[in-house]
Copies of this chain bind each other. A is one copy, B any other.
Amino acid sequence: MRDEVLEGLREGSIAAPHHRDRQPGVVLVGGGPGDPELMSVAGRKALMEADVVVADRLAPRELLGELPADVELVDVAKLPRGRSAQQEEINRLIVERAVAGKRVVRFKGGDSFVFGRGYEEVIACREAGVPVTVVPGLTSPVAVPAIAGIPVTHRGVTHEFSVVSGHLPPEHPESLVDYDALARMRGTVVLMMAVENAPAIAAALVAGGRAAETPVAVVCDGTMPTERTVLATLGTLAATLREEAVKPPAVIVVGDVVRVAFPDAFPAVLPDRRSADASD
């Protein structure tokens, strides 16, 4: 069987994709959920070939210790405060260095395009005529639950999952999330940046029709040595977060996949949709 598999491989070979060219310009590298080995091979290669690394607070910073000594390291956590001012400063400094002929790696946690403001940097580079490429990362809303033993999908339980930024409370006029519609979705909801607003979000989901008994897992410091998982329901989430003194960063998983992962904690019987669901 081995020979047959290898036979298939000879038919086509992978051309060097655009994100592996070694040119001056900006490379957005998604650093994954925290563990430095949960980063792509392409991303690590780009990082190690950089002239300048501009690193976010939640990027896997241990890897910065492996950079050659002549690499310029810019720590975004030390830039002027205020998110808009900080973003403008980042845009300015990555463009400036790329224009000067440097290869700049913009090093973020997770994936650059999942609430990472990465595309704002793409636009800034394009407007300045600077070549920009993207190396995607392992995204925390999938990878953090996985490492904690929670699948975001499971056959017979859900055919979809939604990833939601909870940085604004549901009633906030700038919130772009329709929590009524979200509550009506039957699948998994993964809340990011939501520790502060989780009580209001859980209440909004229950008000929208989702059962108060819906299981919830809060994964704190996912993939890191300090990782811990706290279990609750939508109805008990506010009290549990308070009692367990949960602090960011945390990934909050809502839905019956949590019951699948922790059947002893949520012993209620799952609706038996599996037998009628052989096709997925």
Assess whether A113 is in contact with B142, with CB atoms less than 8 Å apart.
Answer: yes
Interfacial residues of chain A within 24-38, with CB under 8 A of chain B in the complex: 30, 32-33, 35-38
Chain B nearest CB, measured from A182 CB (Å): 7
Assess whether A113 is in contact with B151, with CB atoms less than 8 Å apart.
Answer: yes
In the complex, A198 has a CB within 8 A of chain B? no
In the complex, what residues of B have CB within 8 A of residue A185's CB? 162, 178, 181-182, 185
Please state the number of chain copies in the assembly: 2
Which residue of chain B lies nearest to A144 when distances are taken between CB atoms in the complex? Answer: B136
- In the bound assembly, the distance between CA atoms of A163 and B145 in angstroms comes to 16
In the complex, what residues of B have CB within 8 A of residue A40's CB? 32, 37-41, 138
Assess whether A155 is in contact with B117, with CB atoms less than 8 Å apart.
Answer: yes
What are 26 inter-chain pairs, A to B, with CB distance below 8 A?
A: A2-B73, A4-B78, A5-B73, A8-B61, A9-B65, A17-B225, A32-B40, A39-B41, A83-B278, A113-B154, A114-B152, A117-B155, A119-B155, A134-B146, A138-B138, A142-B142, A159-B167, A159-B168, A160-B164, A160-B165, A160-B182, A167-B280, A176-B277, A178-B185, A181-B184, A182-B185
Given contacts A9-B62, A136-B146, A160-B182, 7 further A-B contacts (CB under 8 A): A12-B225, A15-B225, A20-B37, A111-B146, A112-B151, A136-B147, A163-B163
